[in-house]
Structure 1
């Protein structure tokens, strides 16, 4: 797994350098929560390559130009192309730079890490052929938002998440998605 993660160390160091060098707009803490729905055109687990709808709940914190996010994403199993996926969800944390374009438009660029969890059935054989798999994941999130009011924003997110096998008999869970939703600032 470590040899696959090394190509991501360069961008990670660049983001940390960018965050440290760029001046912060203000040194106040901002907390936001949001909900989004969207589509995952790439959802690979086991030997299956699927696509489907998903929903997400997230929380953001901002300090100056630094932004972090904690996100829970749930795949809507009834909207996946087959009935093999029984459940699928992911928990990710992200950290990056919030690039202001105008006073209303901001584009956070974040490195993302976490884990994906799937439960699926394999129709080969007789009996219960249900599998549960967990995959550590790392990726990139681009998450522009448009500030409608001081506390409400229209939020869009594009993510690519590369998974890695967690052990023998495990398969990587790979996903790419696009989400749209709302973001409400608490502070």
Structure 2
């Protein structure tokens, strides 16, 4: 089953078809952004901005070493008052990288994201990275997956798979994004971006 890159985000694909036939290989993003472990965080941030990328793979001597996301840059440099020009990619990357095989089903991929408390996975064939898949890629193919992902979150919260936090984690009821910081606004659980659009400020 081939997924057109220009697929209509509102097209509803049956959950049974998704679970039985669709693999992450069909949804993954093949355009991978790679940086050297010695690159400064400032260089990484500038490259991510130029490429409009929300994550980057870090390599060390040609081997995959880890991944850096926007959250890593904010929480490990800005929030700690560290200078990004004086820190290396190696210092802030998340490692080891969590990966799945290209043949993995997307429901299984979504469950792994929830269990691991992450929003994207590397798709690897042995030691070779073929692409990346994010929760947004999965959510885009069918509105029905919103319910499945929310159920997975609740299941693992009840089973103590998720870390205890002070924030409400779940699916934004407006944009469908997985958020670590939901806020109830006018009866809806919204992510930070949608809360701001509603004029709500904490």
- Answer whether TM exceeds 0.5 for this pair: no
Q: Which has the higher strand share?
A: 1
Q: Give the TM-score category using the shorter length.
A: under 0.3
Q: Is the helix fraction higher in 1 or 2? A: 2
